[in-house]
Structures are given as C-alpha cells and as structure tokens.
Amino acid sequence: MTLDELVITLRDQNVHLFDDGDAFRVQARKGVLTPQLLEVVTAHSAELLYLIRLGDVRVCPSRWEHRPSWRYSPTAKAFLCCDCRKETVPQKAEG
C-alpha cells in the first residue's frame, strides 16, 4: 500500500492522527485498526509524522471544523491546515 492509499484508507475509516512529540498518536473506533493496517501504518510512520507536522490537510484530525483555515503552501506544494499548525489565519476585510 502506498502512502497516498494509506492516507485515503485512514481518512475513509475516520482514523485521526495526532503529533505526540517524537511519534504520533492514532485514534480510531474499536476494530478499525487491524493488525495488517497497523503494520502498514508502522511502515509509513516517518512519512505520516512528517505530514502531521507539516499540517497537511489529508491527515488533519478535524477536517470539517478546520476546513475554513486551509490554505495552499507553494513551498510545501500542499494544502495546509493553519489550525493544526497553530497559525493565525488572516481575516478578509469586510466592506
């Protein structure tokens, strides 16, 4: 399974990934994380942790609530979640 396929699988099964210092935490409903899926997650752990720390929206744990803070980063060449990165989002001027 490729990293992209894994991310899609985790997203579709509503698995949340959180930065936890030197590693990441996984939150999922009981029975979702099979031994086979855990093996793949372990194999891609470095890449998943990078995506979490980058703030990549594909692994954003609160996709629907955070969606208004997503922005494209030309440097990362990815959409990032400002909430996950703890950045402030510039507000559009009303008028």
Quick check: 89 pLDDT over 60? no
pLDDT tens figures, 40-77: 999 999 898 888 888 888 888 777 788 888 888 888 78
pLDDT tens figures, 8-30: 899 889 888 888 888 888 889 99
Give the chain's length.
Answer: 95
The per-residue b/e assignment along 43-57, b for 16 or more CB within 10 angstroms, e otherwise, is ebeeebbebbebbbb
Residue type, 82: C
Quick check: 90 pLDDT over 70? no
Helix (H, G, I), strand (E, B) or coil at 56: strand
Q: How far apart are CA 61 and CA 59, in angstroms?
A: 6
More confident residue, 94 or 75: 75
Domain residue extents for the chain: 3-81
Select from 3.30.230.10, 1.10.287.3510, 1.10.10.1830, 1.10.10.10 the CATH code of 3-81: 1.10.10.1830
Quick check: 39 pLDDT over 90? yes
* Global pTM exceeds 0.85: no
Cα-based distances in Å from 63 to 35, 93, 95:
26, 25, 29
Quick check: 36 pLDDT over 90? yes
